[in-house]
Structure 1
Amino acid sequence: MGTIWPDALPSSKGPKYKAVAETIRGAIDGGSLTEGTKLPPVRELAYQLGITPGTVARAYTVLTDEGLLEAGVGRGTFVAPPKTSLLDDVWARQTEPPKTHNVSLFSPRLIDVGQVAAIKDAVRQVAEADPWLFLNYPTRDAYKPVRQAVVDWLSDLPLGSLGPEDIVLTHGGQNGLCVVFQAVLRGPRPVVLVEDLSYAGFRRAAELMRAEVVGIEMDQYGIVPEALDAAARQHGAQLLCVSPEVQNPTGGHTPLFRRKEIVDVAKRHDLQILEDDCYRMGEARAPSFRALAPERGWHVSSISKTLTPALRVGFAIAPQGRSTDLRRAAEYGYFGLAQPLAELTRILLTDPRTPELARKIRQSMAEYVRVAVNALGGFDLNWDPEVPFVWLKLPSGWRAAAFCRAAEGQGVQIRSADEFALRDGRAPHAVRIAMNGHVSLEAFEGAMMRLRSLLDNPPEQISV
């Protein structure tokens, strides 16, 4: 150890045990201390450095907990062999391309462009945070810096007037939908309106609230205003659920003129409007319903399609004057996000690297969309380079269920239009194909070519 500290402990403003630990850590990283090297006894090193034995013992304990050192009873303290943490194993499995022929295209999976390293850095910072972060119940004041980080993160969106008090942190977008449902719906059997083809999470949230779900006719611009007006009048609905930026599953977009027509109907029938914005990866193309109707527009978003779905972090935003209702629903339901997770979210959203990471994720996912379009563009395909899935209307001879079964037989898992239709609704013969950044572009292209082969060769007899 004399070659590491030729004279004395390097000067440091922090606790001396941290200086000892950092010096040993640096020696291990630099190769001066190799695996199996025995460190001096605590009292010997303390005497050499002119510090207390307790300081050295604490440094050894810190490094042992990190896995850099290992102690044997009666033998001393040694440099441990390199170890991979459980967290590293999990991330490695998530980012390592599958070795099998099977490719799941059920849900979008983001490629790692550096966000894993940023999340690991954030986890380390949380681990070094004030110990009280790990001991206290969440409080509104404790969440304020996180909510402000969310406001800044969403600052380029046309959401209308927005402050930290309007934000509620949720466990992903689905939890955000449920919190809004709880804040809005009243009575024993409320009615919720959704698009004829829509995200199944709307229906699941409604079932939890014992609400009836009614589908509304759609055209190429989204919900048909006349059909919405008739349904609202007939059913006395309380809430309309829409995805105007990226309609799930068709990938369509509701332009501004249609959004204004929908707002007019909602005002006539006192409908609240819940906008699910979780699938948008690029810039918004029109003002949100919260901006167009500040008194009735609810907004739900998350980082699942922009950074990672693993953290399960989402944001629910109340209309003007309804923040208390939204916050009460969250506090009564789950008290709030775990404080360590909230702090990790704040660090990640304020990391100067994060906007560029989000841009690179969009860019990389667009490459997968390009491959899908090159393979399937000869068919009736709806796509957008900043939407992580494509919508394929099947050619004559194929039914959605049969095509999905045939695709699975070829090692490709996709979603049928039936999964997005109401139980008593009719679904078109179409499928949703999500981008999977966990497999190489070559493997993804292979999956697309297998789908194209099926499309080129429909069965002689139509099966259902």
Structure 2
Amino acid sequence: MDTILAHYVPGAGRSKFRDVVAAIRGAIAQGVLEPGDQLPPVRDLAWTLGMTPGTVARAYAALTDEGATEGQVGRGTFIARPQPPVQFVPEPWVESTLAAEGDEQISLFATALPDMGQVALIHDGFARLAERAPRDLLAYPSRAGFAPARRAVLHWLEGAALGPIDQEDIVLSHGGQSGVSLVMQSVLQGRKPVVLLEELTYPGFRRAAQILRADVVSVPMDAQGIIPEALADLAQRHEAQLLCTCPEVHNPTGMFTPEARRRDIARVARQLGLHVLEDDCYRLGVARASSYRALLPDLGWYVSSLSKSLTPALRIGFAVAPRAHATTLRRAAEHGFFGLARPLADLTEDLLQRPETMAIAEKVRARLQSYTRVAVNGLGGYDLRWGDDVPFLWLTLPEGWRAGSFTKAAASRGVQLRSAEDFALRDARVPHAVRIGINAQIPLGRFESAIARLRDLLDNPPDGMVV
């Protein structure tokens, strides 16, 4: 008891609960409290400090959650003893059962982010939520109440080259896919609207359009992205209302559409009154060219999220409307789901306004880059598209391989990939290629092993495969 009292400073934190946590942490840091030492009973410490038992119990629980203490049923709370490092164990849904018996299965089906401190930051963010005003948990979400969160998002999007923008142009969504749906609801009209998609494209565009009973038409591409002449022809022929594109980091090829090509595409859209939705979820660095929202102030829409930079678990996304359509986008969200849950909006505000978050995002980016370099070293002799700020690779297969056959052969060797066919519409030409996701949740050695298996498969195709 005296040990904790010696480190207890009332008012040092933002609440009594945090003061207790800080006192115990300080005693542990100075070695005054050692592993195995028992903390005072909750009621005794609460009486001594002049606070409720619930406050002390909450402090003990927070310390246990972070691993500083451990509870023993019927005995009390003790300073935790050092534990061996926890090894990452993939969830059952991450690991496929397609591998042959005895093989180590490694999923490169999608990007998987490493924990570079964001989990602890999120835990702390949830703890801060408990200090919010009780009235915020007894009312429907409101536009005004979410203004601080939107301002935090505005700060987060500073590297996106969005043109003139303020927080009123932003709508919080349940991840990037929800943002895509909100934009389509805001734009599409009539009984059978038409949405134009790149001939290889993010499947979520197609699914969102189908839910709204819209037809989808693929637009041919070249090495710089959408071909403007083909876009003009198809948009007029089908009376299309919306084009969906990923110009910064094209999903699935990793292609970048340069400024000059974007301006040509924007010119076509402006002439035809075609809305353009830009999905920017995969960009990890600063934007290298103007967004379509900047190039098309009346027709350009933008969607992004935290899923590829911090975590996909929270489902935090944001959609940005052209100035003339901000009210329409806001109504689509309010009429559809009344807005995010208030705690989630508050957590968004907390995360995005903290300087640690930007630093952690940079660490995530750097770790992904280290995995990318391993993949390039292993597969660089083949037709491989990659980038330092692209969390996946695009492998065009050697002659003789088909994408479906290669993914099956890779799975038989314990490596799960995604075929180009997954990203194509029925009428689009499909290259013989695969997307390789950077799975940074597995040790780098396991990732290197997966790349080596793919290299061996390319170097030594099954008999009769190469023509």
The verdict on a shared fold, with TM-score over 0.5 as the criterion, is yes
Aligned to 1:152: 155
Q: Separation in 2 of the partners of 1:231 and 1:457?
A: 43
Contact 1:190 1:237 in 2 (8 A): yes
Structure 1 counterpart of 2:445, one-letter code? E
Structure 2 counterpart of 1:78, one-letter code? G
- CA shift, 1:60, in A, is 4.7
- CA shift, 1:17, in A, is 7.9
Q: Separation in 2 of the partners of 1:34 and 1:441?
A: 33
Aligned to 1:245: 248
Q: Separation in 1 of the partners of 2:21 and 2:438?
A: 45
- CA shift, 1:258, in A, is 1.1
* 1:156 partner SS: helix
Question: Which of 93, 106, 110 pairs up with 2:109?
Answer: 106
Structure 1 counterpart of 2:142, one-letter code? T
Aligned to 1:375: 378
Aligned to 1:307: 310
- CA shift, 1:135, in A, is 2.6
Aligned to 1:350: 353
- Please list every run of 5 or more consecutive structure 2 residues that lacks an aligned counterpart in the other structure: 96-101
Question: Which of 70, 77, 80 pairs up with 1:79?
Answer: 77
Q: Separation in 1 of the partners of 2:142 and 2:108?
A: 40
CA-to-partner distance for each residue in 1:81-123, whole Å, 9 max, x for gaps?
8599xxxx9x96579x999821111111112222222222222
* 1:355 partner SS: helix
Structure-to-structure mapping, 1:132-171, within 5 angstroms = 132-171=135-174
Q: Separation in 2 of the partners of 1:19 and 1:117?
A: 19
Q: Separation in 2 of the partners of 1:228 and 1:401?
A: 29
Q: Separation in 1 of the partners of 2:20 and 2:309?
A: 40
CA-to-partner distance for each residue in 1:291-311, whole Å, 9 max, x for gaps?
011000000011111222221
Structure 1 counterpart of 2:316, one-letter code? V
Structure-to-structure mapping, 1:29-428, within 5 angstroms = 32=33, 37=38, 39=40, 42=43, 46=47, 49=48, 55=51, 57-63=53-59, 66=62, 78-79=76-77, 101-428=104-431
Contact 2:195 2:240 in 1 (8 A): yes
Contact 1:110 1:436 in 2 (8 A): yes
CA 1:323/1:41 → structure 2, altered by over 3 Å: closer, same or farther? closer
Aligned to 1:440: 443
- CA shift, 1:136, in A, is 2.2
Q: Separation in 2 of the partners of 1:174 and 1:343?
A: 21
Structure 1 counterpart of 2:418, one-letter code? R
Contact 1:115 1:354 in 2 (8 A): yes
Q: Separation in 2 of the partners of 1:142 and 1:44?
A: 37
CA 1:34/1:286 → structure 2, altered by over 3 Å: closer, same or farther? closer
Q: Separation in 2 of the partners of 1:363 and 1:40?
A: 45
Contact 1:36 1:78 in 2 (8 A): no
Q: Separation in 1 of the partners of 2:370 and 2:354?
A: 26
- CA shift, 1:127, in A, is 2.5
For the pair shown, the structure with the greater C-alpha radius of gyration is 1
* 1:353 partner SS: helix
Moved more, 119-128 or 245-254: 119-128
CA 1:291/1:71 → structure 2, altered by over 3 Å: closer, same or farther? same
Give the alignment's TM-score, normalised by structure 2: 0.87
Structure 2 counterpart of 1:364, one-letter code? R
Q: Separation in 2 of the partners of 1:298 and 1:9?
A: 52
CA 1:39/1:361 → structure 2, altered by over 3 Å: closer, same or farther? closer
CA RMSD, 1 decimal: 3.2
Contact 1:170 1:313 in 2 (8 A): yes
Contact 2:42 2:53 in 1 (8 A): no
* 1:340 partner SS: helix
- CA shift, 1:264, in A, is 1.5
Structure 1 counterpart of 2:263, one-letter code? K
Contact 1:17 1:58 in 2 (8 A): no
Contact 1:33 1:79 in 2 (8 A): no
CA-to-partner distance for each residue in 1:108-157, whole Å, 9 max, x for gaps?
11122222222222222122322233332111111001101111111232
CA 1:2/1:195 → structure 2, altered by over 3 Å: closer, same or farther? closer
Contact 1:17 1:56 in 2 (8 A): no
- CA shift, 1:369, in A, is 1.2
Q: Separation in 1 of the partners of 2:452 and 2:109?
A: 17
Contact 1:10 1:19 in 2 (8 A): yes
Moved more, 23-32 or 150-159: 23-32
Q: Separation in 1 of the partners of 2:356 and 2:169?
A: 26
- CA shift, 1:37, in A, is 4.3
Aligned to 2:99: none
CA 1:432/1:25 → structure 2, altered by over 3 Å: closer, same or farther? closer
Structure 1 counterpart of 2:135, one-letter code? W
CA 1:220/1:80 → structure 2, altered by over 3 Å: closer, same or farther? same
Structure 2 counterpart of 1:151, one-letter code? L
Structure 2 counterpart of 1:436, one-letter code? N
* 2:318 partner SS: strand
Q: Separation in 1 of the partners of 2:333 and 2:46?
A: 53
CA 1:17/1:326 → structure 2, altered by over 3 Å: closer, same or farther? closer
CA-to-partner distance for each residue in 1:293-340, whole Å, 9 max, x for gaps?
100000001111122222111110001210000000011111111111
CA 1:61/1:119 → structure 2, altered by over 3 Å: closer, same or farther? closer
- CA shift, 1:458, in A, is 2.2
Q: Separation in 2 of the partners of 1:192 and 1:28?
A: 60
Give the alignment's TM-score, normalised by structure 1: 0.87
- Please list every run of 5 or more consecutive structure 1 residues that lacks an aligned counterpart in the other structure: none
Moved more, 166-175 or 347-356: 347-356
Q: Separation in 2 of the partners of 1:44 and 1:297?
A: 59
CA 1:243/1:25 → structure 2, altered by over 3 Å: closer, same or farther? closer
Contact 1:397 1:459 in 2 (8 A): no
